[in-house]
Amino acid sequence: MNTKHAAMARRALDQRTSRLTDAEMSALPAGGWIRAVREALGMSTSRLGQRMGVTRQAVLKFEKQEIEGSIGLSTLRRAAEALDCQLVYAFVPKNSLDETVRAQARRVAIAELARVDQTMLLEGQRVVRDEAEERLAQRVEELVASRHLWDADVPAEQ
């Protein structure tokens, strides 16, 4: 994927996901979605099992697996269809994707420039602070446009 296309894709995904709040995404009902929707519809586990082509015990297992986080997407999709629902699956970034890319570029640039600064210090050619900040900003912009931004082994910020 070229860098212009990646930047456009980041902006588009940022716009789509920015509308979803943390509260909306983390509002898993106490008993899970399968059970919550099934009960809201007044549907028994036996009837849901029939609609899914599985046993009542399998439905109870699915509901338990959903709470534990071990249920598969294909099973969730089948349950959603049997409940006349649509499964919505999304990754919602903690920050905008553009912020994530820029933060990575900054970490990589700092690591790269620290090595250069150490060499220059040993040679008695240390760069002044303003010049160093300018170099850092320039390198960040270069890295944002790079296809190899994520190849660098720099620790992620916690």
- Is residue 26 located within the same domain as residue 77? yes
Let me know if residue 4 belongs to a domain. no
End-of-domain residue from the set 82, 107, 129: 82
Let me know if residue 53 belongs to a domain. yes
Higher pLDDT, 105 or 4: 105
- What's the pLDDT at 126? 57
- Is residue 27 located within the same domain as residue 51? yes
Q: Are 5 and 77 in contact (CB under 8 A)?
A: no
**Entry field: residues in the chain:** 158
CA-CA distance, 48 to 42, in Å (whole number)?
10
Let me know if residue 87 belongs to a domain. no
Let me know if residue 36 belongs to a domain. yes
Let me know if residue 25 belongs to a domain. yes
State the average pLDDT for the chain. 84
Number of domains within the chain: 2
Task: List the CATH number of the domain containing 60.
Answer: 1.10.260
Q: Using CA atoms in the order 78, 79, 81, 84, what is the torsion angle rounded to 10 degrees? A: 180
- What's the pLDDT at 26? 61
Let me know if residue 7 belongs to a domain. no
Domain boundaries, position 145: 97-151
Listed residue (3, 2, 1) closest to 98, CA to CA: 3
- What's the pLDDT at 158? 46
- Is residue 32 located within the same domain as residue 70? yes
- Is residue 28 located within the same domain as residue 78? yes
Q: Are 39 and 33 in contact (CB under 8 A)?
A: no
pLDDT tens string 138-158? 999 999 988 888 987 776 664
- Is residue 77 located within the same domain as residue 110? no
Let me know if residue 88 belongs to a domain. no
Let me know if residue 29 belongs to a domain. yes
End-of-domain residue from the set 56, 82, 108: 82
- Is residue 72 located within the same domain as residue 103? no
Q: Say what the pTM is.
A: 0.67
Q: What is the DSSP secondary-structure string of 51-101? A: HHTS-HHHHHHHHHHHHHT---HHHHHHHHHHTT---------SS-HHHHH
Candidate ranges 48-57, 111-120, 131-140; pick with highest mean pLDDT: 48-57
- Is residue 63 located within the same domain as residue 108? no
